[in-house]
Amino acid sequence: MFYPEYNKTFAMAEFQDSLAQSITSLRAKAEEAARTIATTDALEKFRIEFLARKGSVGQLFEELKSVPPDVKPKYGKLLNEFRIFVDALYQSAKTKIESTSAETDTFIDLTLPGRGLPLGTRHPITQTLDDIKSIFVSMGFGVVDGPEIEDDYHNFEALNFPPNHPARDMQDTFFLDKDVLLRTHTSPVQIRVMKERRPPLRVIMPGRVYRNEAISARSYCLFHQVEGLYVDRNVSFSELKGTLVAFARAFYGSSLKYKFRPSFFPFTEPSLEMDITCFLCSGKGCRVCKQSGWLEVLGAGMVHPNVLRNVGYDPEEFTGYAFGIGVERTTILRHNIPDIRLLFENDMRFLKQF
């Protein structure tokens, strides 16, 4: 490399040559390395490779030690400038990394409100069922469940629908077998409760029921009812009406307008239906109420003596009333929902409104 004994001029020329070469190739290497630095690890690697005391630039300073003293300052200056150049590469790579990571990883806006946890809501049918239950529970009724798959006896026969009775055609039934069916109303639970217990009996029986009907804005193949039953000595028809009015006022509000109409069910006698003012037209008459101004919300009546006999009660000793509330009907009226099918489609945009 450099031999001080030689002719000075020659030696200087040779040193200059080799130093210039080293600088040129090292400069290209450092520039290339600095261009690709993207992480703090790569930045540190660059520093160790080039700028640390034993790094490539440091090595050149080692070589400077053996340069003749009279030319040392000149080459020392040259090398110093090179080191400042490589250090500048390092600094600009460093600021680049710091600015990008500050923008993406560590920026926190402390003025933002906290993220809320998404909460579910109860289905509108469930809300109506819960409200109906709590009104009747507060009047002293208990709550009882029954099976959705029933036999002909509980769904029809014990309820005073004899075989071939025309009333059986009023309810289009899903039969699973000759004698097995999906219950078409919650009234069969009346039979089960009365057979299991003795009066006084005061229960409601909420649940799903099924009918083989054409699906439309007004009817669906499955819906819910809340059946009610009260059997004791001296239960009267006026008690039935009083209970229904108390329920309707508690549910729809005390300003509610209602009326009772005579009706027919095989398992009650006398029977009635309760109407309330149409929610859409407020009683003026419209398409929803078929121009009548009224909407039917429930059926009811005094338990038929034949039904009491079927469950082993003496109709001379006991009387009772029963009622059946349509839960979908009630929900639609309460929320002004234009189509019953919305209650079964589980569209979140609809359900989130309740």
Residues binding ligand PHE (CB under 6 A): 185, 187, 227, 265, 268, 299-301, 322-324
Nearer to ligand PHE by Cβ, of 82 and 304: the residue is: 304
Q: Is residue 272 within 8 Å of 242, Cβ to Cβ?
A: no
CB of 301 to ligand PHE, least distance (A): 5
CB of 113 to ligand PHE, least distance (A): 50
CB of 170 to ligand PHE, least distance (A): 8
CB of 145 to ligand PHE, least distance (A): 17
Nearer to ligand PHE by Cβ, of 87 and 269: the residue is: 269
Residue 350: both structure tokens together: 């609809």
Nearer to ligand PHE by Cβ, of 124 and 324: the residue is: 324
Nearer to ligand PHE by Cβ, of 57 and 191: the residue is: 191
CB of 227 to ligand PHE, least distance (A): 6
Q: Is residue 61 within 8 Å of 79, Cβ to Cβ?
A: yes
Residue nearest to ligand PHE (CB): 324
Nearer to ligand PHE by Cβ, of 69 and 166: the residue is: 166
Nearer to ligand PHE by Cβ, of 63 and 157: the residue is: 157
CB of 268 to ligand PHE, least distance (A): 5
**Buried b / exposed e across 229-257, counting CB within 10 Å, b at 16+?**
bbbeeebeeebbbebbeebbebbbeeeee
**Peptide bond preceding 338 in cis form (omega within 30 of 0):** no
One-letter amino acid at 304 equals H
> Rounded to whole angstroms, how far apart are CA atoms 11 and 6?
6
CB of 321 to ligand PHE, least distance (A): 8
Nearer to ligand PHE by Cβ, of 34 and 333: the residue is: 333
